[in-house]
Amino acid sequence: MPRLDERLKAVARSIRCDTHLDVGSDHGHLLFALLKSGRVSRGIAIENKQRPYLNSRTTLADVNADVRFGEGLAAANPGEADSLSICGMGGRSIVRILSEYPDRVPSQVILQPNQRIHLVRRWGYENGFTIAGETWVGTDRIFEILHFVRQTTGDGDFVDPAYEGFDLETAFHFGPTHLRQRAPEFLNRLQEERHYFGQFPHRQPETEHRLRMIAQILGLDNH
Ligand SMILES: C[S@@+](CC[C@H](N)C(=O)[O-])C[C@H]1O[C@@H](n2cnc3c(N)ncnc32)[C@H](O)[C@@H]1O
C-alpha cells in the first residue's frame, strides 16, 4: 500500500465523502489511500499525460476507482463527484482547470498549489466559496492546503466573511485564517521569509510587494 507523504496526508484529512475526484492524479496514491481508509467510497482520477495515467491505472486497478485520460474537468461530468482535489500544480494551472468548467466543480474543493496561492484564494473569493480550512505542512519547503466550500453559484453578491477587515490582496497571499489567528508558527514563517529576502540587494517587484505586506502584518513600519 503506498504511503502518503505529509503533504498528501494533510490533503487527505480534508476529504471525506462518497465520490471524490482527483485531477492530476499522477501516481494515484491519494485516491488509493482515501479508498483504502474508507474516507471515500468511489474515486475518479483524471490525468492528461500517458505515463502518469498508466501509473494511476496500476495503483487503482483493484479499488473502486475510475481512471480517465483527459484534460482537467473536460473528463468529468456535472454532479458526479462530491469533492475535488487538485494538488502539486501551480496556482495558475489550478485556476485554469477550475474556470474551464465551473458547472463541473463540486461543492467541496481541496487545493494544494505549489506556487501563486493568491490566485487560488482569489478564485474561491470570486466564485461563491468560503474557506473552510487553511493548513500548511513542511519545514524547509512549505506546502499550503486550502479547503473551499461552495456557498452560492457566484452571482457576485456573496462575500466570504473570513476576509472581513483585511486588505484583500494581503489576505489572498497569506490567508485570512492565518491573518486572524496570528499563530506563532505563522508569524515566525513571515519573519524567516523577511530575513531571507532581506539579504538580497536587488529584488523583483513581486518580492518587494510581498515584503511590504509582510512588514505590515508584522506591524513593522518599513522593511
Ligand atoms: C506534479 S504532479 C502532482 C501529482 C499529485 N497530484 C500530487 O500532488 O502528488 C501534477 C500532475 O498533474 C497532471 N496534470 C497537469 N495538468 C493537468 C490537466 N489539465 N488535466 C489532468 N492532469 C493534469 C500532470 O500530468 C501530473 O501528473
Task: Kindly state whether residue 38 falls inside one of the protein's structural domains.
Answer: yes
Q: How many helices (H) and strands (E) does the chain have?
A: 9, 7
221: pLDDT strictly greater than 70? no
Q: Are residues 201 and 132 in the same domain?
A: no
- The finding on whether 52 has its CB within 6 A of some atom of ligand 1 is yes
Instruction: Give distance in angstroms: CA of 92 to centre of ligand 1.
Output: 13
* Mean pLDDT, range 62-67, rounded to an integer: 98
Instruction: Give distance in angstroms: CA of 42 to centre of ligand 1.
Output: 20
134: pLDDT strictly greater than 50? yes
Q: How far apart are CA 178 and CA 45, in angstroms?
A: 31
- How much of the chain exceeds pLDDT 90, in percent? 91
Q: How far apart are CA 168 and CA 53, in angstroms?
A: 38
* Mean pLDDT, range 45-73, rounded to an integer: 98
- The finding on whether 160 has its CB within 6 A of some atom of ligand 1 is no
Q: How far apart are CA 199 and CA 223, in angstroms?
A: 11
Q: Is 151 exposed, middle or buried (0-12, 13-18, 19+ CB in 10 A)?
A: middle
- The finding on whether 48 has its CB within 6 A of some atom of ligand 1 is yes
Q: Are residues 120 and 204 in the same domain?
A: no
Bridge-based pairing state of the strands 143-150 and 108-113: antiparallel
Q: Are residues 39 and 140 in the same domain?
A: yes
Q: Are residues 114 and 207 in the same domain?
A: no
Q: How far apart are CA 110 and CA 148, in angstroms?
A: 6
Domain enclosing residue 47, as ranges: 6-157
Q: Tell me which H or E stretch contains 35.
A: helix 29-36
Total length of the chain: 223
